Every structure is written in C-alpha cells, then in structure tokens.
Amino acid sequence: MTGRRGLTAAAAGVLGARTGLAVAGRVPGARWQRTNFAGRPVSLLGGPVLAAAATGAAVLGAPTGHRAAAAVVGTVAGLVGSYDDLAGARPEQARDKGLAGHLAALRDGRVSAGAVKVVGIGAAASVAAVLTRRGSAADAVLTVGLVAGTANLVNLLDLRPGRAGKAAVLLAGATLGGPAGGLSAGALGATAGLLPADLGERVMLGDCGANALGALLGLRLADLPGRPGRAGLLAVVTALTLASEKVSFTRVIESTPGLRELDQLGRRST
C-alpha cells in the first residue's frame, strides 16, 4: 500500500462515517428504526452511512485497476442489502432467513429479499472479477467467491453491537500491505469512524452496511498473492457460512474465552 494513499483513504473513511452519522441523526422516520437484541431502539441508517463511507474511501485508496471494481461491489452490496433490510422486515418474509429459508421460499414460488441480495452481490462480484482482469477462470471464480462469501460472512457476524465491525477492523488491519492495501485502509477508516455508535447501540450495520463492508474486504482478499492461499481463504469462508446454518456463532463466541471478552469490549451492559 502506498503510505500516503492509504492514510488518505483511512482519513476519508473516518470523516465520511462521522459526517454521515451527523446527517443521519437528523433523518426522521420509523422505517429505519429497529429493536436490537437487548430491546433497545437503534437506527438502521448506520448501514447506508458505512456503505457510502467505506466504498468512497476504498475507491480513493485502491490502485487504478481496482477502483471501478470497488465502486461496483460496495455500491451494489449496499443497495441490495438495504433492500433486504427494508423488504425483509415484512411479516411474510419472517421465515426467509439463511440459505434454507431462501430455498424454501423459492420452492413455494416466492423470491425472498435475501435471494435478491444473493443474486445482486453475486452479479457485482462477477463484474469485479472482469474489471480486475484476473488471468484465468479459476482466479475469476476465486474473486467471485471471496467477494460474495465475505459479504455474507460479515453480515452473519452482525448479531451483536460492534461484532462485525471488530472483525472487519482485524481483517482490514491484517491486509493493509501490498498494492491493493488502500482498499483495506478505506474500509478500516470508515468502520473505525462508525464503531463507537455501533457499540453504543445508537445505530446498527444491518445488511446494507455489513454486506458492503464485507464485499470490499472480499475484493481485497481476492488480490492477495498465491492462488492456493486464496483458495484456502475461500474454503474457510464457505465452511463458516455452512456452519452458520447449524451452529450459533453467538453461542460459540460467548462460550470461548478470549473471543467472549473481545466481543464484549466496549459494549453497553445489558
């Protein structure tokens, strides 16, 4: 990562998130209000704020060959995630959760909001694979899988305040090096700017913020050197996604020393 470019992207992410939160705080409307796990009212507008700030900052920090791809995956993942946040809250969609829920809806002749999101993020990831001009079909498949899979995985972690944000900060921090490290710097800055509000239970990321953030980090992972390493990362992402259908991430985290303390760090007491 070019030092000045990365610092600029990170600073832009923080500024974008903080400015966006200030604007979002003046937006009325129960449509964006939700009740979180602790029964407290929170705003879903944290999602659009994070999606916009992280995407803009990632584009600013990305190398030339990745800017368009970052714009596509961040924007599309945020938009379809926002659709899922709003349409997925309808009573008729209450059962359409997880892979099994989306498949059941299709068998019943319905297209769930989550299925729309899956198709949209998959399409954006495919465009990103073309835009970044990976050299082979295998590399393109890895790009699509990492962008879409990481977008979904970060969303699966967004079940407690700050959990998805902390995971994103750790992943972004670990991938700041290399020519495409500016992608991570932009995502890191935006997440850091929003994290206090997320931990304070004033906002939540929702599908919009979590999917956009995950897609951008997935695009960064897809640029890591070494096809075997990228294939291994995709295998891990896939395994965790499949495990989430049967295993509660929250239960595992709360029963694991170290993970439990990290998860609770900075959160309000229930």
Encode pLDDT of 87-111 as tens digits: 865 544 555 565 555 555 555 555 6
Q: Kindly report the number of other CB atoms within 10 A of residue 99's CB atom.
A: 15
Q: What is the mean pLDDT of residues 55-59?
A: 98
pLDDT for the residue 13 = 97
Q: CA-to-CA distance for 21 and 176, rounded, in angstroms?
A: 25
Q: Give the pLDDT confidence of 117-152 residue by residue, as tens digits.
A: 889 999 999 999 999 986 688 999 999 999 999 999
Structure tokens at 242: 């499949």
- Please state, for a pLDDT cut of 90, what percent of the chain lies above it: 74
pLDDT digits (tens, 9 = 90+) for 144-191: 999 999 999 999 999 999 999 999 999 999 999 998 999 999 999 999
Q: Which two tokens stand for residue 72?
A: 């596509």
Above 70 in pLDDT, residue 254?
yes
Question: Each residue of 109-118: pLDDT tens digit?
Answer: 556 777 888 8
**Structure confidence at residue 232 (pLDDT):** 97
Q: How far apart are CA 249 and CA 212, in angstroms?
A: 21
Half-sphere exposure at residue 225, Cβ-oriented, CA atoms within 13 angstroms: 3
Q: How confident is the model at residue 25 (pLDDT cuts 50, 70, 90)?
A: confident
Q: Give the model's pLDDT for residue 269.
A: 79
Rounded to 5 degrees, φ, ψ at 268 are -70, 150
Percent of the chain exceeding pLDDT 70 equals 89
From residue 261, how far is each of 168, 173, 254 by CA, in Å?
17, 20, 8
**Per-residue pLDDT for 265 more than 70?**
yes
Compute the half-sphere exposure of residue 113: CA atoms within 13 Å on the CB side of its CA.
21
pLDDT at residue number 87? 83
Can you tell me the mean pLDDT for 203-221?
97
Block residue for tokens 């990170």: 10
Residue with tokens 């965790």: 240
Per-residue pLDDT at 91: 47
For position 120, what pLDDT does the model report? 95
Q: Which whole number is the average pLDDT over 198-211?
A: 96
DSSP for the chain, please give it: --HHHHHHHHHHHHHHHHHHHHHHTT---GGGEEE-TTS-EEETTHHHHHHHHHHHHHHHHS-GGGHHHHHHHHHHHHHHHHHHHHHTTSGGGTT--HHHHHHHHHHTT---HHHHHHHHHHHHHHHHHHHTT-SSHHHHHHHHHHHHHHHHHHHHHTTSTTHHHHHHHHHHHHT--STTHHHHHHHHHHHHHHHHHHHTTSB--HHHHHHHHHHHHHHHHTTSS-HHHHHHHHHHHHHHHHHTTTS-HHHHHHTSTTHHHHHHTTPPP-
